[in-house]
Amino acid sequence: MAGDTDWVAAATTDPELACPTSAVIDIVFSRWTTPILWTLHTEGRQRFVELQRRIGTITPKVLTQRLRQLERDGLVVRTYHPEVPPRVEYEITDLGRSLAPLFAHLATWAAGNLDKVEQARHDFDAEPPRGAHSAPGRPSPSL
């Protein structure tokens, strides 16, 4: 089909098309997005200070930036209550909640595989550095 070849040709020049999940990865798995979405999903509607306290090490500036981006992406809704003092709350949207199965799959994968990743890292780190092996009859390179 002509459409299939057009897509394949575009995929070779556009990384977004080569891996259609890369846009999702950029949205969902940036540094602070996952803890924010996880907290809003598990704890419900949160005020800024509550959310910051639950996440822990995030700075107010970064939390503000991430919340704005998540609001722009439609994953979080911000509600302003015009009272004295003003109150702002953040809540995960239905679109954000629809990511729950993805997070559940990742949690299952992590439970079954992170020990294997740690073992692979340990094994890799225990090996001599690549290129440090010498050919027979040749001295090892100096480091």
Domains of the chain: 10-125 (1.10.10.10)
DSSP 14: -
What is this structure's pTM? 0.69
* CB-CB contact of 40 with 96 (8 Å): yes
Q: What is the mean pLDDT of residues 35-60?
A: 94
Task: Calculate the CA dihedral of residues 88, 90, 93, 97 and round it to 10 degrees.
Answer: -170
Q: Which has more confidence, 12 or 39? A: 39
d(CA 83, CA 79): 12
Q: What is the DSSP letter of 89?
A: E
Residue range 71-106, pLDDT digits in tens: 999 999 999 999 998 899 999 999 999 998 988 898
Predicted confidence (pLDDT) per residue in 99-143, tens digit = 989 888 988 999 999 999 999 999 999 988 877 555 555 555 555
